[in-house]
Amino acid sequence: MNSEMNTNKYLEVFIEEATENLQNLNQALLELENNPEEEVINSIFRIAHTLKGMSATMGFTKMSKLTHRMEDVFQEVRNNKIKLDSDKIDILFNSLDALESYLKNIVNHGFEGEEEYDHIIEALESFKNKKEEFTHVTKEETPFTKEQSQITKLNIYEVDVIKKAYEMNLKTYYITVNLDKGCVLKSARAYIIFQVLEKYSEIIRTEPPVEDIEDEKFEFSFSVLIISKYPAESLHKELMSVAEVESINITELTKENTVLDTENTALISRGAKKQEPKGNNFQSIKTKDSTIKGGIGIKDKYAEKIKANTIKTVRVDIQKLDVLLNLVGELIIQKSRLEELYDGKNQAYQEAVQYLERIITSLHEAIMKVRMVPIETVFNRFPRMVRDLSKKLNKEIELNMSGEETELDRTIIDEIGEPIVHLLRNSIDHGIENPEERLAKGKSRKGHVDLKAYQEGNNVIIEVADDGEGINIEKVKQKAIEKGMVTFDEASNMSKNEVINLLFKPGMSTAKVISDISGRGVGLDVVKTKIESLGGAVEVESEIGVGTRFIIKLPLTLAMIQALLVYVGGERYAIPLGSIMKIVKIKSEEIKLVQKREVIFLNDSIVPLIRLNKVLECPNESENGNIITAVVINKGGKLFALAVDSLIGQQEIVIKNLGKYLAGLKFISGGTILGDGNVALILDINYIAAS
């Protein structure tokens, strides 16, 4: 029972970290295809290795088996025994998919499922067996079995320390620790080794850097450069006494076998016989403030600075942030209540409330900032998706992404992925032409899809643009007539924008061939609905032959909005301020009838008048008298006026949903709690506009 609970506790951590690692793996694989650098291969190896260890610890044997095979493959790649080509990378992607589906099972059911993915494992194993003739993937590199070798590049401080050590007759050792291949908690093991080392010596540097060792970002060996007064043999003995240590290699750096070059801060060791890490310019040092057991005292400000830069973030459960945000919501409600209690006389009271308001506003902003997540988390998966799609469709497509750092509220981030996927698929499937077709049109062989995100005022804009065919207005018209959505006459009178808007209606698809990528005629209307439910809007610009651009506009945050409170039939309703164009007062004789529908004239344009008390079926009649107050709404260029009883005022409101029981209401998008503790409903302007 107890152990099960422990596993559950770790399961969450496992899922979180595995998700992160899989995402990194995805990115690294994409990078690998374009740019097979050694560094990328190393990072994939590390990720596979980490995943293997993690899943094995959690008892997910299938996952661990698969990652083990991947790790093997990359081991061979690193040793230049396997050359990766596009087909092999495909298989690696398949392995990634398999891992993702394991993880999905773990998330949903707590276990990895039954699927073995034998074909993938076999395919991975076949990499090794084939062992194509040796071709180097990355830049040529000299094998490191040479007699003379360069240990590492040292910075000036380190060189300084070593020089002082010479002067003080202390010994400098370069120690490589090889851990047992079966070692699971490598970083813990490394920690113990550091403990031992610190007892007898001063560690000048580690390879890889300490942070990486702590994060298990190393294979089974790491190296340290230390200064000590003890002989190598006793250090060897002490270190070998640590469990799970396979072997220890100690090389003493003496004045004779070492060249200290302060010019380029390089340390050359002659006659060092062991393997050593490749010569990266690591820049991490571990020193104590001043006194050391070995007897040297050097304070290293540089090292401290590096240390200060680590560990400064905290992982927070999003639910905790939701609670915080809700509490701020409550604060706002209580504040409006205090405002209502103001008797108009007590100056100090008013000042206190105003000060409170300022604090609440700052608090709200601070919490909103915490909830903001870079859109990168959504964009991450697109390169892979575009790659797969273009392969499948035999198109050549280059995806350019920008503004990944743009931040949006977590709630929106969670929802926005699906609409963007739709638009990207749309661009790739319908927009971009075949390479041959493109060449014939004088375009570049490769199609381009741009995915851009940026902030504009209180909105975030996401653009999906392609340089493909563009929307064929005539074809859309024809289709709409075929489907009976518009008559021939209506279609011929439609403006370009009106025709494009038809694409967002359910049941429209102009793809010649229905593919399984898009073209089921469900795409764009779903996109529109989703984005509007997030309080945003979507627009299209298209030029035939040149391309199409979808522009999604989203609010930065969801939870709180500015709204106009109005009375309708004696009831209070909130209208989101963003959609209101202006307020007008009209005399009842100014209302005209067009096809039995009431309209008013506004700057010479005809605006339909909607009597809200009728739409909302208010039990009480509105008492308007001769003058009617109307709120003019602009929804995507379409104007309409909502007749209300009277205006209450503008207010920042906290949006609350009406609960699952009332989900799917028409006209109402949510509720808010007013200062007096009562509920006011928020009007769904999109729905009212559509009806």
Partner 1 sequence: MVNIYNTKINKDTGVNTNNDKTIKVLSFVLDDQEYGIDINYITTVIENDYSITRVPGTPKFIKGVINLRGDIVPIMELRNKLKLPPVEDTIDTKVIVVDFNEVLLGIKVDKVNEVIEIPKSSFEPLSSISDDENLEYYQGISKVGDKIIILIDIEKIIEI
Catalytic residue check, 35: no
Q: Interacting stretch for partner 1, rule CB under 8 A, among 181-189, 405-413, 519-527, 671-679? A: 671-679
Which residues, 363 to 392, sit near partner 1 by CB under 8 A?
none
Based on the shown chain and the rule CB under 8 A, indicate whether residue 1 belongs to the binding site for partner 1.
no
CB of 675 to partner 1, least distance (A): 11
Closer to partner 1 by Cβ: residue 270 or 614: 614
- What are the residues whose beta carbons fall under 8 Å from the beta carbon of 252, sequence distance 6 or more? 171, 172, 173, 174, 232
Based on the shown chain and the rule CB under 8 A, indicate whether residue 662 belongs to the binding site for partner 1.
yes
Q: Which residues of 646-663 are buried (b: 16+ CB within 10 A; e: fewer)?
A: eebeebbbbbeeeeeeee
Closer to partner 1 by Cβ: residue 649 or 677: 677
Pure H helices in 261-346: 301-308, 318-340
Strand runs labelled E in 364-515: 372-374, 397-402, 407-409, 447-456, 459-466
Q: For residues 49 and 10, what is the distance between their CA atoms, to the nearest angstrom?
A: 19
- What are the residues whose beta carbons fall under 8 Å from the beta carbon of 12, sequence distance 6 or more? none
CB of 326 to partner 1, least distance (A): 7
Give the number of other CB atoms < 10 A from CB of residue 683.
27
- What are the residues whose beta carbons fall under 8 Å from the beta carbon of 213, sequence distance 6 or more? 187, 190, 206, 222
Based on the shown chain and the rule CB under 8 A, indicate whether residue 618 belongs to the binding site for partner 1.
yes
CB of 619 to partner 1, least distance (A): 7
Question: Which of 256, 303, 294 has the alpha carbon at shortest distance from 156?
Answer: 303
Q: For the chain, first and last CA: distance in Å?
A: 57
Closer to partner 1 by Cβ: residue 326 or 588: 326
Q: What is the edge-to-edge ordering of all strands in the sheet holding 266-270?
A: 148-153, 266-270, 258-261
Strands 605-611 and 592-594, by their bridges, are: unpaired
CB of 598 to partner 1, least distance (A): 20
Q: Interacting stretch for partner 1, rule CB under 8 A, among 44-52, 309-317, 391-399, 674-682? A: 674-682
Of 71, 202, 219, 407, the catalytic one is: 71
Based on the shown chain and the rule CB under 8 A, indicate whether residue 657 belongs to the binding site for partner 1.
yes
Please give the size of the binding site for partner 1, defined by CB under 8 A. Answer: 29
Q: For residues 393 and 432, what is the distance between their CA atoms, to the nearest angstrom?
A: 10
Closer to partner 1 by Cβ: residue 581 or 668: 668
Closer to partner 1 by Cβ: residue 198 or 571: 571
Among 180, 452, 667, 675, binds partner 1 (CB under 8 A): 667
CB of 671 to partner 1, least distance (A): 5
Q: What is the DSSP letter of 285?
A: B
Of 21, 26, 42, 49, the catalytic one is: 49
CB of 188 to partner 1, least distance (A): 35
Q: Interacting stretch for partner 1, rule CB under 8 A, among 109-117, 329-337, 454-462, 543-551? A: 329-337
Among 457, 484, 619, 649, binds partner 1 (CB under 8 A): 619
Based on the shown chain and the rule CB under 8 A, indicate whether residue 523 belongs to the binding site for partner 1.
no
Strand runs labelled E in 105-200: 148-153, 171-179
Based on the shown chain and the rule CB under 8 A, indicate whether residue 432 belongs to the binding site for partner 1.
no
Based on the shown chain and the rule CB under 8 A, indicate whether residue 677 belongs to the binding site for partner 1.
yes
Among 460, 630, 681, 689, binds partner 1 (CB under 8 A): 681
- 75 CB-contact burial (10 Å; exposed 0-12 / middle 13-18 / buried 19+): middle
Catalytic residue check, 136: no
Q: For residues 334 and 337, what is the distance between their CA atoms, to the nearest angstrom?
A: 5
Quote the tokens at residue 527: 């996109």
Based on the shown chain and the rule CB under 8 A, indicate whether residue 559 belongs to the binding site for partner 1.
no
Catalytic residue check, 426: yes
What SS3 state is found at 313?
Answer: coil
Among 680, 685, 688, 689, binds partner 1 (CB under 8 A): 680
Based on the shown chain and the rule CB under 8 A, indicate whether residue 4 belongs to the binding site for partner 1.
no
Residue type, 55: S
Based on the shown chain and the rule CB under 8 A, indicate whether residue 673 belongs to the binding site for partner 1.
yes
Q: Which helix (H) or strand (E) is 52 found in, with range?
A: helix 38-57
CB of 218 to partner 1, least distance (A): 43
Based on the shown chain and the rule CB under 8 A, indicate whether residue 659 belongs to the binding site for partner 1.
yes
Quote the tokens at residue 633: 């709404």
Based on the shown chain and the rule CB under 8 A, indicate whether residue 671 belongs to the binding site for partner 1.
yes
Of 249, 426, 613, 686, the catalytic one is: 426
Q: For residues 614 and 543, what is the distance between their CA atoms, to the nearest angstrom?
A: 42
What SS3 state is found at 532?
Answer: helix
CB of 684 to partner 1, least distance (A): 10
Based on the shown chain and the rule CB under 8 A, indicate whether residue 665 belongs to the binding site for partner 1.
yes
Closer to partner 1 by Cβ: residue 341 or 544: 341
- C-alpha distances out from residue 194 to 116, 178, 184, 226, 347, Å: 40, 14, 17, 11, 65
Would you give the binding string for partner 1 spanning residues 577-616, x where CB under 8 A is met? --------------------------------------xx
- 103 CB-contact burial (10 Å; exposed 0-12 / middle 13-18 / buried 19+): buried
Based on the shown chain and the rule CB under 8 A, indicate whether residue 97 belongs to the binding site for partner 1.
no
Angle between helices 2-34 and 382-393 (to 10 degrees): 60
CB of 683 to partner 1, least distance (A): 10
Based on the shown chain and the rule CB under 8 A, indicate whether residue 330 belongs to the binding site for partner 1.
yes
Based on the shown chain and the rule CB under 8 A, indicate whether residue 337 belongs to the binding site for partner 1.
no
Question: Which residues are known catalytic residues?
Answer: 49, 71, 426
Contact residues for partner 1 (CB under 8 A)?
326, 329-330, 333, 571-572, 615-619, 656-662, 665-668, 671, 673, 677-681
